Amino acid sequence: MKRIFFALVFVFIAQLLRAEEIKDFGRDRLNSSPRHADWVDIKSGDRTIKAFVVYPESKNKTPIVLVVSEIFGLTDWVRSLCDELAENGVIAIAPDLHGGQKFEDLDGARKVTSALPKEQVKSDLNATADYALTKIPAGNGTLAVCGFCWGGGWAFEYAHTNPKLKAAYSFYGVAVDNADDAKKVACPVYGFYAENDERVDATIPKGEELMKAAGKKYEPVIYKGAGHGFMRSGEPTNPQVREGDRKARDEAWARWKTLLKQL
């Protein structure tokens, strides 16, 4: 009985560690970065939210990219990605849409994220965008949005919500599925998708059809051998890094860097 008990305890601890590793790594990059970063308070209706901002080392004003997280919220990985964006010449700002909540496992993150009111998320994104354009003097007035998984879907949606956007980068997020929404898209939308992710990929053809009919630019690229979440699971510092996703992440970053220079 003791042997069974200790085996169960070991499995339980391993599961907890694995859940933590899935969503929370990247702190080493944050601690060693030469770039300046801030936590800021942003008024959103009658609420105040936090946002993480990272600045590039630049002598000129630069574009700003609004970063929408995965369902795990504003983790160390998301903040490290903000630093990587700043390394590539843009200001990155990531609002904490989950109100500082931390999740012990994937199921908890799903439950909390699915319960977030859509209008609240939209209000928080609008408040962050307004802050980026009016309260960050180092910005040059150009605003783009990126997002991952749940945030990737929101990046596409925000492209038809905020007319001030100059570009949207949707990473494995569902595409637009409404003709009226497609007509309202204000900027080019660049999609980054995984080959082994039919749940999301199945939305691409209709999105292409609607965007083409509306005269809008939509450029989806599907990365071979990659699974959903490859920007995170392909991160070299991820304890559970997957090699197919690492390759896709490198290819996606190469493309993204080129696109960022066009802002």
Average pLDDT score over residue span 123-147? 98
- Are β-strands 218-227 and 189-196 bridged in parallel, bridged antiparallel, or unpaired? parallel
User: At a CB cut-off of 8 Å and minimum separation 6, what does 254 contact?
Assistant: none
Tokens 């799903």 sit at which residue? 110
| Tokens matching residue 116 | 């977030």
Question: Is 22's pLDDT higher than 70?
Answer: no
pTM of the model: 0.90
pLDDT of residue 25: 84
- Report the phi/psi class of residue 202: left, alpha or beta, with left for phi > 0 and alpha for psi in -120 to 50: alpha
Helix axes 150-159, 118-134, angle to 10 degrees: 70
Whether residue 226 contacts residue 198, with contact meaning beta carbons closer than 8 Å, is answered with no
Average pLDDT score over residue span 90-116? 93
Q: How far apart are the C-alpha atoms of 163 and 30, rounded to whole Å?
A: 32
Question: Is 6's pLDDT higher than 90?
Answer: no
Question: At 102, is the pLDDT very low, low, confident or very high (cuts 50, 70, 90)?
Answer: confident
| Tokens matching residue 143 | 């605003």
Q: Tell how far CA 136 is from the center of its chain.
A: 21
- The residue among 238 and 132 whose pLDDT is bigger is 132
pLDDT of residue 94: 98
pLDDT of residue 112: 93
- The phi and psi torsions of 70 (rounded to 5 degrees) equal -75, -175
pLDDT of residue 4: 41
Q: How far apart are the C-alpha atoms of 93 and 75, rounded to whole Å?
A: 13
Average pLDDT score over residue span 18-32? 69
pLDDT of residue 21: 38
Closest CA relative to residue 68, chosen from 83, 48, 56, 82: 82
Q: What is the pLDDT of residues 177-214, one digit of tens each?
A: 999 999 999 999 999 999 999 999 999 999 999 999 99
Average pLDDT score over residue span 137-165? 98
Question: Which amino acid, residue 159?
Answer: A
Q: How far apart are the C-alpha atoms of 20 and 1, rounded to whole Å?
A: 29
Average pLDDT score over residue span 111-137? 97
Whether residue 136 contacts residue 64, with contact meaning beta carbons closer than 8 Å, is answered with yes
pLDDT of residue 24: 67
- Report the phi/psi class of residue 231: left, alpha or beta, with left for phi > 0 and alpha for psi in -120 to 50: alpha
Q: What is the pLDDT of residues 36-78, one digit of tens each?
A: 999 999 999 999 999 999 999 999 999 999 999 999 999 999 9
Whether residue 74 contacts residue 52, with contact meaning beta carbons closer than 8 Å, is answered with yes
Q: How far apart are the C-alpha atoms of 167 and 159, rounded to whole Å?
A: 8
C-alpha Rg value of the chain to the nearest Å: 19
Q: What is the pLDDT of residues 222-250, one digit of tens each?
A: 999 999 999 999 998 888 889 999 999 99
